[in-house]
């Protein structure tokens, strides 16, 4: 699936860190539900271009654990639509960045209600006829979504540049690790251009893709776009290039597989 086609759907990748796990080193169920609820909100807002709140979680099935260091990937789709509410199916999968093994961890159904239903009597748009499949994103890529909340912004209501850099760097790491299936180190950020600010309440949509591979180094391109969820307007807000290095178990540079 081409990277550009991901813009037509909601897809989010992240890493499982120790503070998100229990004493057994597995991803907290509550943390999983929180990020699934965020995806359900994004799917709903994208579908209707209206604000939504969560009414209920009809069923959450925990099938397999996700472990520290795993990549998690979430996607969602609208299944049912009523007058002012809809049901979003969300899937969370985990991927071992070393082996590429992928497993479905959690699936759930979220009922979302239009927050403006008392002032906006319009019916919600019908459910789409063509529904995206729950499939993995292309190897050598990553997509990370971030809703900009007040705590993420400066006094102008704009996302901190450091926060954007952290998200872009994480996406570059995931893309490189999925390509090499080994440890990755960041050698350099060749350039980071902030083209426009991301405002409070907007969606920051970051896509990373491995562009070129040398002997042990990889060049990863990262593109960040901001989206107004109510209007659908998107704009380019940042671009970056990172040089990542494939490392062996001793932390020394090791040959990276070529691009397919």
Q: What is the mean pLDDT of residues 62-77?
A: 95
Query: Per CATH, is 141-247 categorized as 3.10.129.10?
Result: yes
Report CA Rg, the chain. 19
CATH superfamily assigned to domain 3-114: Hotdog Thioesterase (3.10.129.10)
Cα–Cα distances in Å, from 221 out to 89, 146, 224?
31, 18, 10
Domain boundaries, the chain: 3-114, 141-247
Read off the pLDDT of residues 171-224 as tens digits, 9 standing for 90 and up: 999 999 999 999 999 999 988 999 999 999 999 999 999 999 999 999 999 999
Read off the pLDDT of residues 96-114 as tens digits, 9 standing for 90 and up: 999 999 999 999 999 999 9
Best CA proximity match to 226, nearest among 168, 172, 173, 176: 168
């Amino acid at each position: 699936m081409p990277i550009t086609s991901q813009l037509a759907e909601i897809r989010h990748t992240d890493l499982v860190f120790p503070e998100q796990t229990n004493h057994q080193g597995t991803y907290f169920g509550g943390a999983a539900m929180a990020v699934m609820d965020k995806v359900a909100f994004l799917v709903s807002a994208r579908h209707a271009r209206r604000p939504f709140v969560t009414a209920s979680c009809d069923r959450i099935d925990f099938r397999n654990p996700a472990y520290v260091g795993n990549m998690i990937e979430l996607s969602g789709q609208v299944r049912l639509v009523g007058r002012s509410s809809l049901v979003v199916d969300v899937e969370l999968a985990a991927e071992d960045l070393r082996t590429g093994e992928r497993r479905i961890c959690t699936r759930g159904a979220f009922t979302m209600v239009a927050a403006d239903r008392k002032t906006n009597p319009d019916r919600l748009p019908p459910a789409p006829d063509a529904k995206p499949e729950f499939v993995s994103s292309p190897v050598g890529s990553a997509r990370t979504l971030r809703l900009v909340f007040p705590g993420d912004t400066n006094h102008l209501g704009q996302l901190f540049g450091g926060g954007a850099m952290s998200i872009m760097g994480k996406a570059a790491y995931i893309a490189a690790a999925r390509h090499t299936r080994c440890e990755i180190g960041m050698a350099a950020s060749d350039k980071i251009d902030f083209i426009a600010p991301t405002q409070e309440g907007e969606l920051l949509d970051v896509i990373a893709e491995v562009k070129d591979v040398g002997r042990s180094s990889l060049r990863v391109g990262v593109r960040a776009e901001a989206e107004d969820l109510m209007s659908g307007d998107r704009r380019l807000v940042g671009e970056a290039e990172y040089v990542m290095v494939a490392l062996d178990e001793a932390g020394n540079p090791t040959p990276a597989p070529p691009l397919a």
